[in-house]
Structure 1
Amino acid sequence: MTDILARPEAGSELRPIPMSDRNGVLEVLSMRRDPFKFADEKLVRYGNVMGLNALGVRMVTAAGPAAASEILMNKEKAFANAPAWSYFIGPFFNRGVMLLDFDEHRHHRHILQAAFTPKVLKGYMDEMQPMIADRMQRFPTGDVRMFTELKQITLDVALEVFLGLELPEAEADRINKAFIDTVRAGVAFVRKPVPGGRWWKGLRGRKILEEFFYEHIADKRATATPDLFSVLCHAESDDGHTFTDEDVVNHMIFVLMAAHDTSTITMTQMAYHMATHPEWQQRAREQAFEFGESLTYEDLGSMDVIDLVMRESLRLCPPVPAQPRMAIRDTQVQGFFIPKDTMVVVPQMSNHRDPEIYSHPNMFDPERFSADRAEDKAHRMAWMPFGGGVHKCIGLYFGQMEIKTIMHHLLRNYEWTVPAGYEMPMDYSALPVPKDKLPVQVRRRS
């Protein structure tokens, strides 16, 4: 293996990128096992920018907020989303908004915006609030796997608010399993449809989801209802453009995946930190009682305690741990030469623990987001759990609305604890989830 990626043209002031001297697959395995240790070791050995060859791809990791800004703001249009994300999830989330670029991306996002305006979000809130309130009254007590329960609730919300459908339990389970299989397929080592493997399961899951959405699309086009599925069927840009059936199906599969998994991961992290820091659970609970049992859309902006907990949880464990891009021409990052067809990765999970930005970066400290400290304001890319640039998550306000509403009812009605000294074991092989599903003791408040 060469010790540099490629040399720039003679006379260029750009530097060549240093390459890992380890086997690329072993490096990827090491990164998945402990992304923070991996990042620290590479930073010491190579600096902020380093490369490796793995799985048939030459890959550059560019750490730090300055590099993130160059790549994600993409002022020279040298980087593209689709060829990078397509390598991981293309067959499973084909032509979702994250897998489009430039004019086409702008066109689709413009129509999609109609599904996430404040007026439409208020409609989702009106649909979501009573359903979540009812569902949380039936939250289990005793020994509970918090991740499993929260995942089921986010699925219930997705079916109600995104699909507007009441499905039999067996059908809901089938759709949920299809989503799980499609998400996990993206990080498969064997990237061929070998029966029983992750890739094969992902392709099967995608087919199930396509058939499901196509089966219901005619009804959704016939009558306008408040759910996202119907909104996308009727969405229209200012110049009269609408989505085809194929567009609607592609966007529904992608958006439902994005909302379902990221919200679950965020709430699981919040529940964990509020269990290991009960003073924050109590602070959040006290504020929850300052609002009524039923939240309004206008209440959300005043819930500053749960907002601090959410922001710090997203800092310590962003649900999407990295942002890949593909160089579509020779370019540079931080003075390093990036040849065309190189995948460049922004590692926001490790960036979020940059000691030059965050004091005691491994510590749970929600006050770092308070107005008088505002550590996240040190750089526009210091805190970026929703990505950045033109591809910043379009559903971020919906996600925060859902998370705050669920946690509001959990705090008002229940208390939860973990044993002293418990540390949640994490699986970073795909999206970051707890290996043990976060076992907690839940007690209903009288």
Structure 2
Amino acid sequence: MAIHTVGKVTEAIRERVPPLTSIPLPRAVDRRLLEQRWPTRELATPPPGSGLEPVPGDAGAPLIGHSLDFMRFGTEYALRRYQTYGPVSWMGAFGRRIVSLTGPEATQIALVNKDKAFSQDGWSFFIEKFFHRGLMLLDFGEHRMHRRIMQQAFTRDRLTGYVDQLAPVLREGITGWSGQSGRAGWTQLRLYWALKQLTLDVATRVFMDMPSGARAHRINRAFVDAVRAGTAVVRYPVPGGRWAAGLAGRRVLERYFAENLPGRRDGTGADLFAALCHASTEDGERFSDADVINHMIFLMMAAHDTSTITSTAAAYYLAKHPQWQERAREESRGLGDELPDIEALDGLHTLDLVIKEALRLLAPVPSMARKTVTDTEVLGHYIPAGTLVGVSPVVNHFLPEYWTDPRSFDPERFNEQRREDKSHRYAWIPFGGGAHKCIGLHFGMLEVKAILHEMLRAYRWTTPESYHVRWDYVSLPVPVDGLPVRLSPLEPFGATRAGVTGR
């Protein structure tokens, strides 16, 4: 059994964690649901003489456990569990007992995984049926080899080419939002859904070199179905259910990539599909056809969903904090009317700060799944082999001993003069950490910056002062109402407003 710390999680350890502020919930029924208490039980009895404590927790409601609690309350639920049980606890969910590791110290043990006690097999329970053998599901030596090959698709030269491809798609799509402006000259838009369509269009264009149309729409629908299926409460292919839709979506994607793979092997395309087909390490290691198909399906999911969520969250905070919107707009308009290249996007410092703060306030992947492959211990608590484990960045991002006024929107906390994200190596982990840190994080940041840049140069957007977004965590966080915003077109400048200019 791997031992990571000396001693137990005592009251002294908990005293290092200042109490969180009360969690604000506007509706009394929500407060009552979140405050529901269940009998505390031990996960498993520690071995005699180990000096370890059992993991505390509770099973929640019969059959469904706490599955619906997290889907409904997300971050607020995770913070309440942390307040109640500390950094290591268990809960019933999806018919299983799942250990939650929260706070930077517990997170670091799982993600660094020095003793190889935690495997990626935790993801298999949720998404294996739909994202079979994606990079995130591979372990240890096999993962290291696949990541080395895949890294060839995310070099600086490749990223430069991807930006060149996505820029015109974004400009055309975003300027098109004003096509249905009302009499007053502004447009009411459900921003999340508009951005989701946009990032799907980018994914099919940049990753697959597929133009918009009926075929692209069918592929996009298959990805959406596969993503939503992973957290289905009914985990059987009941006709009309999300699980069945996800399995059907997976079959659509497999057929598409299998049919088009030979052409990509023979060609010299600049899209990600072609890049994976031709990727090779210095030792000559390459992906098999099956590897390429599995990785493409996984990367399409990972790319468009996280980019949609992050750009939606950043746009929401820019709407609620117009001084930051104007500051970012000034930088974007300073680039002129040409399509931005990778160097231009790198220079948008204000958007860097805003996006990082949005990622802190709304982690696009609120939990990272693991499974113990041996008996192990975290912060003095005994976790037996075969236990599902969830590592939750949403708690780390709100702990007041690492962040000043953690519930406030304060992008300056990421400025070089403060760098609160360096208060602990695992205080800010929207991209994960350790060997499995997101391989596409640089592409994701560039895409989100490009989206916001095009929005800033074309529109000013607002939400009512009394409006506050509520996030649905059924799969990944989505605004329950689609995030309605009012877009007001700005006066054009440069060569053209609606057309796509060249470099």
Task: Report the AA paired with residue 358 of structure 2.
Answer: S
Candidates 421, 425, 431, aligned match of 2:470: 425
Cα distance per residue 1:104-125 (max 9 Å; x no partner):
1111111100000111111112
**1:35/1:350 contact within 8 Å kept:** no
Equivalent in 246, 253, 263 of residue 209 of structure 1: 253
Aligned partner letter, 1:116: F
User: 2:196: which partner in 1?
Assistant: 151
1:197/1:10 CA distance change after superposition, 3 Å: same
Corresponding residue for residue 301 of structure 2: 257
2:444 pairs, out of 399, 402, 406, with: 399
1:220 counterpart residue number: 264
What letter is aligned with 1:433?
V
Instruction: State which of 234, 245, 257 in structure 2 corresponds to 1:190.
Output: 234
- Relative to structure 1, is the Cα distance of residues 241 and 416 closer, same or farther in structure 2, using a 3 angstrom cutoff? same
**Cα distance, 1:210 vs. partner?**
0.7
Q: 1:417 to 1:54 in 2, by over 3 A?
A: closer
Deviates most, 19-28 or 104-113: 19-28
Q: Residue in 2 aligned with 1:37?
A: 76
Q: In structure 1, how many angstroms separate the alpha carbons of the residues matched to 2:397 and 2:268?
A: 41
Give the structure with higher Rg (CA): 2
Q: Structure 2 counterpart of 1:277, which letter? A: H
Residues 57 and 342 in structure 1, CA contact (< 8 A), matched pair in contact too: no
Q: How does 1:349-428 map to 2 (within 5 A)?
A: 349-428=394-473
Distance 2:288 2:482 in 1: 39
Residue 124 of structure 2 corresponds to residue 86 of structure 1: yes
**Which residue among 253, 257, 280 is the counterpart of 1:236?**
280
User: Counterparts of 2:287 and 2:377 in 1: how far apart (Å)?
Assistant: 36
> Displacement, 1:269?
0.5
1:277 correspondence with 2:321: yes
What is the alpha-carbon root mean square deviation over aligned residues?
1.4
Instruction: Identify unmatched segments of 5+ residues in structure 2.
Output: 1-38, 182-186, 492-503
Which segment is superposed worse, 141-150 or 287-296? 287-296
Identify the residue that residue 112 of structure 1 maps to in structure 2.
150
Q: 1 or 2, which has the higher helix percentage? A: 1
- Between the aligned partners of 1:158 and 1:415, the Cα distance in structure 2 is 26
Structure 1 unmatched runs, 5+: none
Quick one: distance in 2 between partners of 1:54 and 1:424?
A: 26
Alignment correspondent of 2:368: 323
Aligned residues, how many? 444
Instruction: Determine helix, strand or coil for the equivalent of 1:306.
Output: helix
Matched residue SS, 2:54:
coil
Q: Tell me by how many angstroms 1:219 deviates.
A: 1.2
Counterpart-to-counterpart distance in 1, 2:74 and 2:406 = 15
Alpha carbons of structure 1 residues 192 and 47: separation in structure 2 relative to 1, 3 Å: same
Instruction: After TM superposition, give the deviation of residue 21 of structure 1 in Å.
Output: 5.5
1:394 is paired with a residue whose SS is coil
Q: Give the alignment's TM-score, normalised by structure 1.
A: 0.97
Using the alignment, how far apart are the partners of 2:93 and 2:471 within structure 1? 23
SS of the aligned residue for 1:138 comes to helix
Distance 1:187 1:405 in 2: 30
Q: Secondary structure at the match of 1:200?
A: helix
**Aligned-pair CA distance for 1:228:** 0.3
SS in structure 2 of the partner of residue 329 of structure 1: coil
Q: How far 1:137 moved relative to its partner? A: 2.7
**Who is 1:23 aligned against?**
61
Whole-angstrom CA distance in 1 between matches of 2:93 and 2:470: 26
Determine the structure 2 residue equivalent to 1:66: 105
Contact 2:59 2:93 in 1 (8 A): no
- The answer to whether structure 1 residue 344 and structure 2 residue 389 are counterparts is yes
Q: Match of 1:19, SS?
A: strand
Structure 1 counterpart of 2:86, from 29, 47, 51: 47
